[in-house]
């Protein structure tokens, strides 16, 4: 099986062969990739002389898994979600990373204490923290703007269609929060049948007024078109629309869902030393703070927070737009990769079954 | 050659040459028939060499990857390869045997070895497919026992997590102890196994795949019918207009065909959404009030409209190519013999278009069954098809075995339909262009 896999994957792998002076980083494309090129790659190349090739993927975990299974790894560093990082690490696909190897903060705090909780995994180091937040069109609610997750489900007071992602991970928690649950009891509730029933019952109340989205660009488009008046979306995308495109949007941080993106190195990476150098360089305090100049995702190091300055237009202060700001953290649900590794399949089936029934 | 005598031409030649034996020979005295066979074989060999690159290409890019992918649907050695000792215990004992001391020892040894080799995640993932919620049982236990474990194993494992004593877990592990499994196919049909291994339906709120399979075939049939209703008159018009006009119209048919699928799908979003062009016009005309805008997208309607449009050329083109070859004198003859225009169409013209219709319907139906991007973008929840679930298992849950099982069922269903079509209409009657 392995040899035949090599055969078929070799064809796709031929596209990018790496030499000693090159490094292949697989990331998510779009504005996010631009921020990484500006904040990490350019200074890295200037310092080390190693060229960094950015390769975009819909979800870099998919090519990573395919490459490791085929025994033909062409990427050196991958930018993936926490749940995938933990899972691939457990499956032996990733190199272990010792936090002691990572650079300390400028004030001398060790990396292990400087990163936000959950940012350091056995095989992965987080670079950004990002949030799924509620965004609304301010022109639709001139009499009084919504402020909480509960308002999202209140279509009487705040009429109009809603946008939600078509997956259980980023919908069930919101239903529970809106139903009055505390952010820190969400996973306890979702572990029980009653809790899941409660979440679906809450979703039922807006089911016929919901537009379901899949790709991150969709909700912002739906909101701009007026197709929905309120939607959840990734905070960086909403920020981009608000600041770069001047859309009349506003963010509700209540019931934010926080996720991290992580750098990992696959076993058998073509340039493991350079990959490790890149990973250390890109996740140091200054680099992470620099990235916030290009996109509204929060740095995974606490020491970076005070260094976050202005957006690239040189006038918008970035600190309040960070998903890690104090206001944003007040009622935030942290992603629990363990929970989703166990229950994703089961809840996804139930979610799709719920969607399909009318 | 016995049949040389049966061949009329051979017989004539034999008589003409006047050879009494009845066998034709070449100049050097060998039997002609054999020489002919040899030269034909050489020609065939040369022809085969010409298509060899194509065959190799198909083999490498098509047969091997698909075969390999489909193998995953019934072969998954995630548990058996990484837990050899406990798998051996399952092989020696009968179904229903409660775990004894040997079983617990084997389990503990395997868990330690697997945790050290960092393959415990693979094991947990495999078991989690059949018993949701157990992946973390393996990974968290693995983290605690890495480096070794002390007896008594049973008591220690149960202390780490009492779920290790769950009979359902042992039953599922027994299922997984051989790499061959039918469980992914069962799951694809909303079936599961209980503790005793008996097959039963999953709980009602978890059922999804059967519904989606049914919906995929039903919607594909509706779309095929719609492309026929819309495409037939257009193809007829194209076939009967003078060449210059029909070429211009043909470009109009082909133009969307050359445009990116994504562009066409998103333009339907612009047209059909609630704040979109069609609704705006309807409101402006006063047909509907501003508050009653129609929901024409992000549901089945959206999927049907967008897919019908996108697949229309696949119906028009084969129909057109067949209609061009239909001699108009047949219909005229029918009319002159007293048939009404409807009868002439129904009994003379339409039957002659059947090869094109068959080909068009086949193309549209098979493409529709596997369509993915359009339903994903405009389908909402009620317009989602089985291909969207396959994609989700490929890229989202990374459960490739499940994706392979669903894809194999879809492929099998299409092949069955093709066979039925062949029995009813005959594949020889297809005319693709």
Per-residue HEC secondary structure of B238-278 comes to HHHCCHHHHHHHHHHHHHHHHCCHHHHHHHHHHHHCCCCHH
**CATH homologous superfamily of domain A131-258+335-356?**
Periplasmic binding protein-like II (3.40.190.10)
d(CA A310, CA A203): 38
Tens digits of per-residue pLDDT, A239-249? 988 988 889 99
pLDDT in tens, A100-114: 999 999 888 888 889
Instruction: Look at residue B377 and tell me whether its pLDDT is greater than 60.
Output: yes
Whether residue B368 contacts residue B228, with contact meaning beta carbons closer than 8 Å, is answered with no
Confidence bin at A267 (pLDDT 50/70/90): very high
Q: Is the pLDDT score of B2 beyond 60? A: no
Which residues fall within 8 angstroms of residue A332, CB to CB, at 6 or more apart?
A131, A183, A253, A255, A256, A257, A258, A323
Q: What pLDDT does B201 receive?
A: 87
For residue B215, list chain A residues with Cβ-Cβ distance below 8 A.
356
Digit-coded pLDDT (tens) for B142-162:
888 887 888 888 899 998 888
pLDDT over 50 (residue A19): no
**To the nearest whole angstrom, how far is the Cα of B360 from the nearest Cα of chain A?**
30
Partners of residue B396 in chain A, C-beta under 8 Å: 59, 167, 348
The three-class DSSP label of residue B326 is coil
Longest distance between any two alpha carbons in chain B, whole Å: 101
Query: Domain ranges in chain A?
Result: 2-129+260-329, 131-258+335-356
Residue B228 has pLDDT above 90, yes or no: yes
Q: Output the six-digit token pair for B175.
A: 């299922």
Q: Place B4 in a pLDDT band, splitting at 50, 70 and 90.
A: very low
State yes or no: pLDDT of A65 exceeds 80. yes
Cβ of residue A192 closer than 8 Å to a chain B Cβ: no
Q: In this complex, is the C-beta atom of A170 within 8 Å of any C-beta atom belonging to chain B?
A: no
> For residue A264, what pLDDT is reported?
96
Name the residue among B177, B220, B219, B217 with its Cα closest to residue B80: B177
Q: Which of A306, A315, A313 is nearest to A288 (CA)?
A: A306
Say what the pLDDT of residue B5 is: 45
Residue A200 is inside which H or E element, if any?
helix A193-204
Q: What is the mean pLDDT of residues A186-197?
A: 93
> Are A345 and B128 within 8 A, CB to CB?
yes
Measure A305 CA to nearest chain B CA, in Å: 32
Q: What CATH number was assigned to the domain covering residues B209-429?
A: 1.10.3720.10
A5-14, A179-188, B128-137: which range is least confident on average?
A5-14
User: What's the confidence (pLDDT) of residue A77?
Assistant: 96
DSSP letter at B392?
I
CA distance, residue A77 to nearest chain B CA (Å):
19
Pairing of strands A162-165, A230-234: parallel
Cis amide prior to B152 (ω within 30 degrees): yes
Residue B308 has pLDDT above 60, yes or no: yes
Residues in chain B: 433
- B129–A356 C-beta distance less than 8 A: no
Residues of chain B above pLDDT 90, percent: 40
Would you state the structure tokens that stand for residue B160, as one six-digit string?
């780490």
Q: Please list every residue in chain A whose beta carbon sits closer than 8 Å to the beta carbon of residue B274.
A: 161, 226-227
**Residue A353, pLDDT score:** 87
Q: How far is C-alpha B166 from the geometric centre of its chain's CA atoms? A: 38
Give the H/E segment covering residue A126.
strand A124-137
CB contact under 8 A, B135 and A211: no
The proportion of chain A whose per-residue pLDDT surpasses 90, expressed as a percent, equals: 49
**ipTM of this predicted structure:** 0.73
Angstrom distance (rounded) from CA A294 to CA B124: 39
Locus of tokens 């494992």: B157
Please identify which residue in the block is written with the tokens 């020979």. Answer: B25
Give me chain A's average pLDDT, please.
87
Q: In CATH terms, are A2-129+260-329 and A131-258+335-356 the same topology?
A: yes
Structure tokens at A292: 């916030």
**Residue B1 pLDDT more than 50?**
no
Q: What is the 3-state secondary structure (H, E, C) of B208-245?
A: CHHHHHHHHHHHHHHHHHHHHHHHHHHHHHHHHCCHHH
Q: Which residue(s) pair with A298 in the sheet?
A: A129
- Tokens for A207? 């089911």
Considering only CA atoms, give the Rg of chain B: 32
What pLDDT shows up at residue B21? 56
pLDDT single digits (tens) B73-94? 999 998 999 999 999 999 999 8
Q: What is the b/e burial string over A12-43, where b = at least 16 CB atoms within 10 angstroms of the residue's CB?
A: ebeeeebeeebbbbbbbeebbbebbbbbbbee
Give the residue-averaged pLDDT of B264-287.
Answer: 89
**Nearest-by-Cβ selection for B133 from A84, A343, A356:** A343
Name chain A contacts of B130, Cβ cutoff 8 Å.
Answer: none
Cβ contact B398–A214 (<8 Å): no
Q: Which of A64, A95, A89 is closest to A79 using CA atoms? A: A64
Which of the pair, A95 or B257, is modelled with greater confidence? A95
At A266, is the pLDDT very low, low, confident or very high (cuts 50, 70, 90)?
A: very high
Confidence of residue B23 (pLDDT cuts 50, 70, 90): confident
Q: Is A208 on the interface with B (CB under 8 A)?
A: no
pLDDT for A1 equals: 41
For CATH 1.10.3720.10, the residue range(s) in chain B are: 209-429
pLDDT exceeds 60 at position B6: no
> Choosing among A353, A355, A358, which should be mutated to test the B contact, i.e. which has the most B CBs within 10 A?
A353
Q: Which residues of A touch B273 (CB under 8 A)?
A: 225, 227
Q: In the predicted model, what is the mean pLDDT of residues B40-64? A: 91
pLDDT for residue A11 is more than 60: no
Residue of chain B nearest A87, judged by CA positions: B121
Hey, is the C-beta of A197 within 8 angstroms of any chain B C-beta?
Answer: no
Instruction: Count CB pairs under 8 A between chains A and B.
Output: 115
> Is the confidence at residue B272, as pLDDT, over 60?
yes
> In CATH, what number does A2-129+260-329 get?
3.40.190.10
Q: How far apart are CA B234 and CA B229, in angstroms?
A: 9
CB count in 10 Å sphere of residue B63: 11
pLDDT in tens, B410-432: 999 999 988 888 887 777 766 66
């Amino acid at each position: 099986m392995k040899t035949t896999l090599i055969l078929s994957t070799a064809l796709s792998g031929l596209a990018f062969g790496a030499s000693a002076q090159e490094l292949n980083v697989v990331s998510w494309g779009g504005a996010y990739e631009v921020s990484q090129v500006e904040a990490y790659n350019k200074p890295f190349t200037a310092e080390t002389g190693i060229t960094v090739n950015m390769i975009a993927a819909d979800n870099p975990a998919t090519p990573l898994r395919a490459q490791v299974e085929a025994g033909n790894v062409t990427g050196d560093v991958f930018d993936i979600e926490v749940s995938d990082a933990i899972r691939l690490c457990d499956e032996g696909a990733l190199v272990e990373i010792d936090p002691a190897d990572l650079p300390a903060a400028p004030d001398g705090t060790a990396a292990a204490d400087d990163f936000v909780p959950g940012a350091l995994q056995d095989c992965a180091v987080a670079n950004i923290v990002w949030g799924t937040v509620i965004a609304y069109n301010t022109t639709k609610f001139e009499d009084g703007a919504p402020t909480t997750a509960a308002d999202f489900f209140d279509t009487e007071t705040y009429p109009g269609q809603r946008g939600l992602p078509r997956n259980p991970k980023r919908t069930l928690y919101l239903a529970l929060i809106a139903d009055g649950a505390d952010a820190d009891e969400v996973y306890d509730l979702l572990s029980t049948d009653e809790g899941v029933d409660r979440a679906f019952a809450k979703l039922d109340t807006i089911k016929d007024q919901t537009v379901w989205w899949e790709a991150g660009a969709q909700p912002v488009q739906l909101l701009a078109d007026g197709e929905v008046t309120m939607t959840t979306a990734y905070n960086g995308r909403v920020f981009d629309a608000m600041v770069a495109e001047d859309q009349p949007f506003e963010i509700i941080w209540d019931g934010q869902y926080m996720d991290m993106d992580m750098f990992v190195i696959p076993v058998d990476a073509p340039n493991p030393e350079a990959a490790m150098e890149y990973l250390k360089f890109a996740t140091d305090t200054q680099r992470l703070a620099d990235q916030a100049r290009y996109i509204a995702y929060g740095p995974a190091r606490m020491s970076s927070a005070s260094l976050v300055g202005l957006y690239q237009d040189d006038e918008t202060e970035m600190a309040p737009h960070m998903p890690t700001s104090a206001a944003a953290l007040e009622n935030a649900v942290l992603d629990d990769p363990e929970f989703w590794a166990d229950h994703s399949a089961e809840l996804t089936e139930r979610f799709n079954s719920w969607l399909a029934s009318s | 050659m016995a049949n040389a005598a049966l061949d009329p031409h051979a017989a004539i030649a034999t008589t003409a040459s006047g050879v009494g034996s009845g066998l034709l020979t070449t100049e050097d005295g060998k039997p002609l028939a054999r020489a002919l066979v040899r030269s034909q074989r050489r020609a065939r060999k040369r022809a085969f060499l010409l298509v060899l690159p194509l065959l190799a290409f198909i083999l490498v890019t098509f047969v091997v990857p698909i075969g390999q992918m489909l193998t995953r649907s019934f072969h998954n050695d995630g548990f058996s390869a990484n837990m050899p000792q406990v798998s051996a215990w399952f092989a020696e004992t009968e179904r229903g045997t409660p775990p004894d001391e040997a079983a617990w020892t084997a389990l503990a040894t395997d868990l330690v070895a697997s945790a050290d080799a960092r393959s415990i995640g693979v094991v947990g993932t495999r078991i989690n497919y059949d018993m949701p919620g157990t992946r973390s049982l393996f990974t968290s236990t693995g983290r605690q026992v890495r480096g070794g474990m002390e007896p008594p194993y049973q008591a220690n494992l149960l202390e780490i997590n009492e779920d290790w004593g769950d009979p359902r877990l042992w039953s599922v592990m027994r299922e997984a102890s051989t790499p061959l499994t039918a469980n992914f196919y069962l799951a694809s049909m909303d079936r599961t196994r209980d503790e005793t291994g008996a097959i039963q339906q999953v709980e009602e709120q978890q059922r999804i795949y059967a519904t989606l399979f049914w919906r995929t075939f039903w919607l594909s049939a509706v779309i095929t019918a719609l492309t026929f209703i819309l495409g037939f008159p257009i193809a007829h018009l194209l076939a009967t207009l003078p060449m210059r006009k029909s070429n211009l119209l043909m470009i109009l048919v082909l133009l969307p065909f050359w445009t990116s699928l994504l562009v066409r799908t998103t333009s339907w979003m612009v047209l059909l959404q609630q704040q979109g062009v069609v609704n705006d016009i309807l409101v402006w005309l006063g047909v509907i009030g501003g508050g009653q805008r129609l929901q024409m997208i992000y549901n089945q309607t959206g999927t049907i409209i967008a897919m019908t449009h996108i697949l229309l050329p696949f119906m028009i083109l084969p129909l057109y190519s067949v209609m061009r070859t239909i001699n108009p004198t047949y219909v005229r003859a029918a009319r002159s013999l007293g048939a009404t225009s409807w009868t002439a169409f129904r009994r003379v013209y339409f039957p002659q278009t059947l090869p094109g219709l068959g080909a068009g319907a086949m193309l549209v139906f098979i493409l529709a069954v596997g369509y993915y991007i359009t339903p994903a973008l405009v389908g909402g929840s009620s317009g989602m098809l089985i291909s969207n679930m396959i994609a989700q298992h490929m890229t989202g849950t990374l459960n490739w075995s499940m994706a392979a099982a669903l894809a194999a069922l879809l492929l099998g269903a299409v092949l069955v339909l093709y066979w039925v079509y062949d029995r009813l209409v005959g594949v020889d009657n297809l005319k693709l262009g």
